[in-house]
A and B are shown apart, each in its own frame.
Chain A
């Protein structure tokens, strides 16, 4: 049914809605202005209980034989590590050299195969590998029932 005087509520609603939208846009602009922050890493923050200076260790005095033994052990360890590092460098060198030789031979064989070999391997990434374990899993082990709960602290900006 048409009225003589139309309702005024519609205009007020439209104005209110517009005002609300503007407020939301302003809020959005403010939030977007702030740059995103990195999540702080708990590893690098020392917990306060370790910075209290109550805990101070007093080490016993070392006998000269003991310190001598330790210095010689350190030297042996250094030598061992150096040999290990040298072996690794040699291994890398050998691998690279053999690879280059193989590629040279391949080039002499056929250019097409050489080009295909030089291209990057799409199937290489992603590459996943679990580290070796001290004790591999037992075959007939029946673990007790349980569950894992993720309690990582969620940071919000």
Chain B
């Protein structure tokens, strides 16, 4: 009979799992799902610790600001300050036009690109914060504008693309 002819290894018998072989094969990497860009929870911080702090460095010079951001990141690593993220904000391009001495035309002078890098840290203690500030200030290169502030949702939203259709629909619905 077909039913009696099947060789089922029962779970208590030593032959259980005799035909398995997948555990011998190399593990396949799981399928990469597109990581959804979700906002991580913003830490408010306690009375003796600052929460999420953004160190934003802006400059016209790309290499300088990149190197400074790397320096700040390594400094935080060395001082065992937790670095949440270290990202770049989108570049802004400005066209500088100036009026000629004689004439009404605006002449193109230069096209400047403003670059910004952000290093986000968490868990900065209140006694160490002024020391860190002092160290970063003393090694601030020329032309790099430093800004330290608390991380807010608006900061995160400024990194995302605008969705005019969604906003239009929402405006129409309400």
> A-side interface residues toward B, CB under 8 Å?
24-25, 27-28, 31-32, 35-44, 88, 91-92, 95-96, 99, 103, 118-121, 124-134, 144-157
Determine the main DSSP class of B at the interface with A.
mixed
A91 cross-chain contacts in B, Cβ below 8 A: 135
Q: Which residue of B lies closest to A119 (CB)?
A: B47
In the complex, are the beta carbons of B162 and A157 less than 8 A apart? yes
**What is the distance, in angstroms, from A30's C-beta to the closest C-beta of chain B?**
10
**What is the distance, in angstroms, from B144's C-beta to the closest C-beta of chain A?**
4
In the complex, are the beta carbons of A148 and B101 less than 8 A apart? no
Instruction: Known contacts A28-B170, A146-B109, A156-B162; decide if A128 and B145 are in contact (CB<8 Å).
Output: yes
In the complex, are the beta carbons of B150 and A125 less than 8 A apart? yes
A148 to B62, CA, bound (A): 20
In the complex, are the beta carbons of A43 and B115 less than 8 A apart? yes
In the complex, are the beta carbons of A35 and B37 less than 8 A apart? yes
**Which among B53, B62, B89, B141 is the interface contact of A131 at CB below 8 angstroms?**
B141
In the complex, are the beta carbons of A126 and B148 less than 8 A apart? yes
Instruction: Known contacts A28-B169, A152-B93; decide if A145 and B131 are in contact (CB<8 Å).
Output: no
Instruction: Known contacts A128-B147, A131-B144; decide if A151 and B161 are in contact (CB<8 Å).
Output: no
In the complex, are the beta carbons of A103 and B127 less than 8 A apart? yes
**What is the distance, in angstroms, from B21's C-beta to the closest C-beta of chain A?**
39
Does B48 touch A at the CB level, under 8 Å? yes
A119 cross-chain contacts in B, Cβ below 8 A: 47-48, 126
A56 to B115, CA, bound (A): 28
